[in-house]
Structure formats: C-alpha cells, structure tokens
Amino acid sequence: MSARETEGPSVHCREESILTFEEKQRFNGFFQEHGLSEDIFIYFESLVGLSTDQDRFIFLKAFHGDDLVGLAMFARVGSHRLYNSLNTKLRKYGFLEKLGGMMRSTVYFSMHAVSSPGLPRSFLYTDKQFEDAVNESILSWLREKKDADTVIIFDSAEKSDFYAKNSFTCHPFSSDSWLDVPRYETVDDYLALHKRTRKNLARFKKRRNVEVETLRGKVPEEIMRGIIECLMCSYQNSQGLLPIQDFFNTNLLRTALFSSDRFIHFVIRVDGQIAGFSTRLLCGKNLIGIIGGYNRELPGNSPVYDFMIVTTLDYCIRNGYTRLVYGLVDNHTKARLMDSFREQKFYSFSRNPLLRLLLKHAYRFLSGYDLHRIDTEAREKRGAAAPPTSTPA
C-alpha cells in the first residue's frame, strides 16, 4: 500500500484481483459521461483470471478513506526482453536478439489501450474532484513498487507536465482514433468524403467475391482457424509489439473475447477465404475495437482493412451507435480513414539507470516511435499541425 499527500483529497492505492459489482457501480457517472458501461471490464477480467506467476493482471484501486474513488488496470510482465520492443527493421538482426535477450526487466504496463480503448484517460475516477489525486496516487504507487523495473503508460498528451512532475519521461507516440458515427446518415455519406476509398472498394468488389459474416458468442472451429492465421500474419508484420504480446499469443483464445456475446466478430472472406477479422466490444453506445488480424499475403492490392472500416461503420449507423473506436493509429489506412483523433504520449519510468538511459536516448529505435512516425506523416497529409482533440461523448 502506498499513500501520498496531494493538494487535493488524500488518496491511497491497493492492488487487487477482483472488481465487485458494487465497485463497478461506483463508476456509473463516469460511464454515463462518456457513453460507456461496465462492460468495459469484461475482457480485462478474463485476463485477470488467466494470470500466472510470470504475467499477472491486476486492478489497482484508489481509495479516499474507505471509499473507492479511482481505478487502473495493469499487466505485470516478468522478464520482458528489450529486444521485443525494437522496431521491425532492427528485429531482423540476430545479434540484437542475443543482446536484447540479455536485457530483461519486469514491466508494469497500463492496459486501458489494449483491454478498453475508448477511455478518455488511462485511469478512471468516480468524481472529477478526485481525478488529480487518483492519478498522482497511482503514479506514486508505481514508483515505489520494488519489482517495477519499468512502467509504461499511454495517456493524453495534455498531461505531459503532470507526468513530468511525477518523475515520468514523456516520449512521442501515436494518437487514439475513432469515427463519430452521428456525422453520417448512411455509409455513402462517409464514402463521399473518401472518394479514393470508394473507388478502390467498388473496383475490389467487381474483381473479387467479398462477403462479411457477423458473429456473436462461440466462434465455429473453421472460422477460428482462419482467425488464428490472420492473427499470426498480422503479428509477424506488426509495426508495434506490446510487452504482453507473448502472453496474448498463447492465451488469447481462452479469454472472454470468444465466449461472451458482448463481443461481435466481423469476418471478411475474399473468394471464400478468410482475409481478415475484427473483434469488437459493444459497450454502451460505443463499438470498441479490441483485436483484429488480416491475411497480408493475399495476391493483388486487396483493400481488406478499408473494407472492414466501412463495414463496421455501416453496422454502427444501422444500429444507432455513436462511436466506432479503432484505437491507436498503427497503420496508414487507419490514419487516413478515421475522422477523430486524440493526441497521446508514451510515458515511462524506470528505477534501473541503464534502462532509463536507453528509454530516454534510444526511443527512436523502438516500435513506439514507428507508430508516432505513422501518425505524424498522416497528420501532415491531412494538412493539420496536430490531431484535433476531443473527449468521448
């Protein structure tokens, strides 16, 4: 347990593995403010249930006295190899794999961007008056945690000064992204703003037989095999790997993603072959992207990712949802086709002097910087000095 006095209310933190129904109810005001619901916890709760000695998923609760006033979700990843964080170009060199394999650390990784994208901040609070005290108490707990060699948090760029004051280093990173569904009466209204995409998709559907299947609940084995192939293909070509990537590769199929009917699977077939999928959480009026994968080895210029964006937007329009969350800008197509962005930063803390030095001076060689570069290039193409910022409805 850790406590730290702030200018506001005194708040202390405690690590736990269970979030009760009553505790979830404490955040109803927060959920209503941002168009969400308690379903935001479903995926992370299933990860908590799969925790091991090596990789543990925890709820970090913030209390004012005996009252729960804040919450964070973290993964504790034991013996993480620095090599896994390098960008795709450097991961090709065998000697770096050996060198990076020698540098291991225990990482505390904020899970909101993975398990619950769409949240306006990394941490939840029951009342606005507790926001700063909750955030500061959580950061203090992490700094004082003896086994936390490195702490990684993706959060709003507007909070850079706050993190710096709490001994965290700020690095450039990718924006969060989504589509504001009420802007469009039909999907044709959206395509009218993206004429090149409309033309490419029309040409694509003339040349190839394209079908979309929407599933909820248990996924048939034949489709699951196609999903796994798409996942592995995307993993091998991914611009950015997370510290919990190895755990996901081994345990993903055991999570709630493939057992709860709150998750919707969009599966695209091209000429009968599964070419891509996107698994999304229905949370309040938001349809939130959790994970997806694409067969990048299909012949020809196949705009499957573009087709997925248009398909999921059409689904949201027809069902009256307000926000289609696509999360981190990690590819050029997403950067081009989203209409709303929130600038984020990569915040890090390390008690290890060598790791602290590497994070500070070698960040441009890590995959996080690759995502920042994609985001920046797209921003320049949109002719904007920075991505517009807003908060979830």
- Is 88 in the same domain as 114? yes
- Is 158 in the same domain as 253? no
- Is 156 in the same domain as 114? yes
Question: Is 392 inside any structural domain?
Answer: no
Question: Is 389 inside any structural domain?
Answer: no
- Is 164 in the same domain as 45? yes
Range of weakest confidence among 86-100, 324-338, 372-386 = 86-100
- Is 170 in the same domain as 196? no
Question: Is 393 inside any structural domain?
Answer: no
* 369 pLDDT more than 90: no
Question: Is 254 inside any structural domain?
Answer: yes
Range of the domain at 184: 177-340
Question: Is 253 inside any structural domain?
Answer: yes
- Is 188 in the same domain as 97? no
- Is 186 in the same domain as 222? yes
Q: In the prediction, which pLDDT does 7 show? A: 56
Q: How many CA atoms lie within 13 A of 357 on its CB side?
A: 3
User: Which residues lie closer than 8 Å to 390 by C-beta, 6 or more apart?
Assistant: 340, 342
Of 307, 325, 340, which residue constitutes the final position of a domain?
Answer: 340
Number of domains the chain is built from: 2
- pLDDT band of 301, cuts 50, 70, 90: low
- Is 135 in the same domain as 277? no
Q: What is the CATH number of the domain that holds 121?
A: 3.40.630.30
- Is 185 in the same domain as 167? no
Q: The pTM is what?
A: 0.88
pLDDT tens digits, residue range 90-133? Answer: 555 554 555 555 567 788 999 988 887 878 889 999 998 999 99
The pLDDT of 352-364, averaged and rounded, is 78
Question: Is 40 inside any structural domain?
Answer: yes
Q: In the prediction, which pLDDT does 2 show? A: 44
Average pLDDT, the chain: 86
Question: Is 387 inside any structural domain?
Answer: no
> What percent of the chain clears pLDDT 70, i.e. is strictly above it?
87
- Is 59 in the same domain as 135? yes
Question: Is 271 inside any structural domain?
Answer: yes
Cβ 194 vs Cβ 338: under 8 Å = no
- Is 271 in the same domain as 308? yes
- Is 288 in the same domain as 188? yes
